[in-house]
A and B are shown apart, each in its own frame.
Chain A
Amino acid sequence: MRALRGVDLEVGEGETLAIVGESGCGKSTLARLLVGLEKPDRGVIETSESIIPMVFQDSLGSLHPRRRVEQILVEPILIREGRWRFTPADRGRAEAIAAKVGITAELLGRFPHELSGGQRQRVNIGRALALDSKILVLDEPVSALDVSIQAQILNLLKELQATQGLSLIFISHDLSVVRFIAQRVAVLYLGRVVESGPAREVLTKAQHPYTETLLQSDPDATDGPPVRVVQGEPPSPLEVLPGCSFAGRCPLVQPICRTEYPAATVRGDRQFSCHVRAQADGTEN
């Protein structure tokens, strides 16, 4: 099985790139590649950082259940320094990290199960930033949180980005959240980037029919034309047919879409892969 095919992405300093797609599109595989949990069969990942940390969706499952918050926050530092024991001197470091991510001092002695979902996600972000990395990968970091808590975490991420010049790779299926947090978006479908560009443009004037479908499926899209619900479900990455992977569900499908994968059409900082739209684009110009 090939989870990802020919993915080219770039994230600038202090920039947020959102990766959008449904289950099985390869977004989590991509995240794991970026942080080095998987190795690519082909291709390279270049970065200025030696370590790229990651924040996961499951805020409880990604914290050690028998470590206190202060131990969790400084664990990356201990590992880098080749130590295991938490010393009183580390407490100050934990406090400094905690302050950065909005964790009050009284929570430092608690265990993960004694925290709320929002507090746990703050701990996860704090731990990820413990080594002062300038890049952070976040895999659906707010989708398990309630709306009011979600807003707190999104604000925190934006603040951290502004104050520390962080580059974020933000994986999400929620387009409204992406619109808020990201400058750039890449839409992934069955392991391929079908469209990418500035968030402002991609999320208002989508080129690829799959991006349009995602936008119309967003419950927030109240104003605008009546929803054209796309038929069918995302195909399995195990049986990839020749041609465009979206052809089976696409309302614009043409015969060529079933035989040949469309080459990328590049327009300034935007890019999309669609036979039909490329043609329309060509005649307009």
Chain B
Amino acid sequence: MKNLIVDHLSIRFGAANPVRDVCFQLDAGRSLGVVGESGSGKSLTALALMGLLPDQARVSGELSWGGRSLQAMSERERRAVRGREIAMIFQDPMTCLNPSFTVGYQIDEVLKLRLGIRSRVERRKRGLEILSDVGIPAPETRWDAYPHQLSGGMSQRVAIAQALASEPELLIADEPTTALDVTVQMQILELLFSLKKKRGMSLLFVTHDLSVAGRLCDEILVMYAGQSLELASANAILKFPQHPYTQALLAARPHLGGGASERLKTIPGSVPRANEQIRGCVFAARCEKKFDRCEREAPVFSSASQFNRCFLSKNERGSL
């Protein structure tokens, strides 16, 4: 099994710099929740891992998969990794399934091309197993169905089946349940995490919802304005958030058990634009704990700062 290491990832499109500095490590068999608001660069990071960024994107930093650099690979080697070792599922299941082919055809294709299974009978048998694994009732009848004949929840299950058919070691899920109803959302998430356990694969789970990630993932990476701000175990992030942004994010969200308190804490201002030049900390302009140094100098994100990009982190405080 392989580890994934992302080191100082930056993505530029001309003058825009939507991903400024992202670092994290995902060990084999673990799950990492990548949490951020819109514009935080979380989806672009996922696409960079898949090698699916548009041609004009300029990527710097190091993406390493099982000790090999993903960027140094030829397109041919990359293709062998994409979909085979690293698979991805997207937010909208309707647009990632081809409307003009049956469910069965689209799974069969993966088994034929990625796993090289020659026998058609064998592929059908495997395909039906996978469909029943992802909780599709009566897979034989669904095999010949077209995507438009399925509900949203069912299509997302098919998309998951398709991603899992190639037996990937790492699955990237980009907001896989945002388009679904709440009761169906929980079904799909539980399915995803139980499959992860059963198959021993790693899971990179991209979401805007801190509570969902906290409930399901081992670790959480909080992103903001294209940077990784805080990385810690899910429990630590929810119970003892260190970075002021994480703290503000948790406080801004109403809670079921919270009651109808008078006001929610808000984060003043808005997210910086991707083409904005920022000298100091990316969150300084909106941070209630900022001081002079925050606007002059950029805090680092490393083991030395305990993966908390803030001058107030424990170790940084010593150097003040």
Residue in contact with B256 in the complex, picked from A150, A154, A173, A203, CB distance below 8 Å: A203
Whether A179 pairs with B270 at a CB distance below 8 angstroms is: no
Report the bound CA distance from A230 to B181 in whole Å.
12
Residue in contact with A158 in the complex, picked from B184, B263, B265, CB distance below 8 Å: B263
Whether A175 pairs with B265 at a CB distance below 8 angstroms is: no
Residue in contact with B187 in the complex, picked from A177, A179, A229, CB distance below 8 Å: A229
Partner-binding segment picked from B23-31, B56-64, B246-254: B246-254
Residues of B within 8 A of A218 (CB): 182, 256
Q: Which residue of B lies closest to A16 (CB)?
A: B260
Residues of A within 8 A of B186 (CB): 216-217, 219, 227, 229
Chain B residues bordering chain A, tally (CB within 8 A): 41
Majority SS at the chain B contact face: loop
Residues of A within 8 A of B187 (CB): 229-231
Whether A227 pairs with B254 at a CB distance below 8 angstroms is: no
Residues of B within 8 A of A254 (CB): none
- B186, B261, B263, B271: most-surrounded residue (chain A CB, <10 A): B186
Which of chain B's residues 253-281 have a Cβ closer than 8 Å to chain A?
253-267, 270-271
Q: Decide yes or no whether B183 CB sits under 8 A from chain A.
A: yes
> Contact mask A103-125 → B, CB, 8 Å, 1/0?
00000000000001010000000
Residues of A within 8 A of B182 (CB): 22, 173, 214, 217-218
Which of chain B's residues 37-85 have a Cβ closer than 8 Å to chain A?
37-38
Closest 9 CB pairs of A and B: A180-B254, A146-B37, A148-B267, A151-B264, A151-B252, A22-B181, A219-B211, A219-B212, A217-B186
Residues of A near any B CB (own CB < 8 A) = 22-23, 116, 118, 146-152, 154-155, 158, 173, 175-177, 179-183, 199-200, 203-204, 213-223, 227, 229-231, 233-234
Could you name 28 residue pairs across A and B whose Cβ atoms are closer than 8 Å? A116-B270, A118-B270, A147-B208, A147-B210, A147-B252, A148-B252, A149-B270, A150-B253, A151-B266, A152-B266, A154-B264, A158-B262, A179-B260, A180-B260, A180-B261, A213-B183, A217-B185, A217-B186, A219-B186, A220-B253, A222-B214, A222-B215, A227-B190, A229-B186, A229-B190, A233-B154, A233-B183, A233-B184
